[in-house]
Amino acid sequence: MKYGVQYMCVCLFLVFTVMASWYEGSALRGNPWEWEYSAVLSKLVNGEISTKSDIVQLDHFVYAAKFKPLFPLLMTSCLIYLVTLLMYTFARGEIQILRSFHIVMASFCLVLSMVMFQSVTIGGTLFAGLFLFISFVQIVVLTSLQMKKNVTT
């Protein structure tokens, strides 16, 4: 498998960034005034949040993404790279499939960027920039795939 080392590295880095994000987001438990705004999933699961034991673990990632975004940004980048790597592995050089994938990814990331663009937290602003950058990269790769197709035909 020609992508084996990349898979191993990205998976190890992903595990590290997930654990670091989870740890940094655990500060949510000590900030009851932030529960209303950052414990979104806990409100869906438990209704009202009255104690820190009502907080769902996934809300740690939301809090970390809003206020300590370094590891969540790296985690998101790893996930997108892993999905792209999986697509290249399974597409096996099928240019049309790869083009479709890059169109979908560019569109998805562009929409996420526009949604997060007006964020009031530093994490939201950085995520908007990350998704905009990833959209740009996807468009560049899509263009290069198109040029490669035109050269070979």
- Residue 50 pLDDT class (50, 70, 90 cuts): confident
As given in the structure block, the two tokens for residue 131 are 């998704």
64 and 98 housed in the same domain: no
88 and 134 housed in the same domain: no
Q: Please name the helix (run of DSSP H) or strand (run of DSSP E) that holds residue 99, with its range, or none.
A: helix 95-116
Domain housing 144: 94-153
75 and 59 housed in the same domain: yes
Cα separation, 57 vs 59, whole angstroms: 5
Mean pLDDT, range 40-64, rounded to an integer: 90
132 and 148 housed in the same domain: yes
- Residue 29 pLDDT class (50, 70, 90 cuts): very high
121 and 151 housed in the same domain: yes
Domain boundary among 52, 67, 92: 92
> Does pLDDT of 33 surpass 70?
yes
- Residue 93 pLDDT class (50, 70, 90 cuts): confident
Residue 38's pLDDT is 87
Domain boundary among 70, 92, 114: 92
Cα–Cα distances in angstroms (integers) from residue 52 to residues 13, 38, 46, 58, 66, in the given order:
29, 13, 12, 13, 19
Mean pLDDT value across the chain: 92
Give this prediction's pTM. 0.88
Number of domains making up the chain: 2
More confident residue, 36 or 107: 107
What confidence tens digit (pLDDT) does each residue in 60-69 have? 999 999 999 9
105 and 50 housed in the same domain: no
CA nearest neighbour of 60 among 33, 78, 34, 82? 34
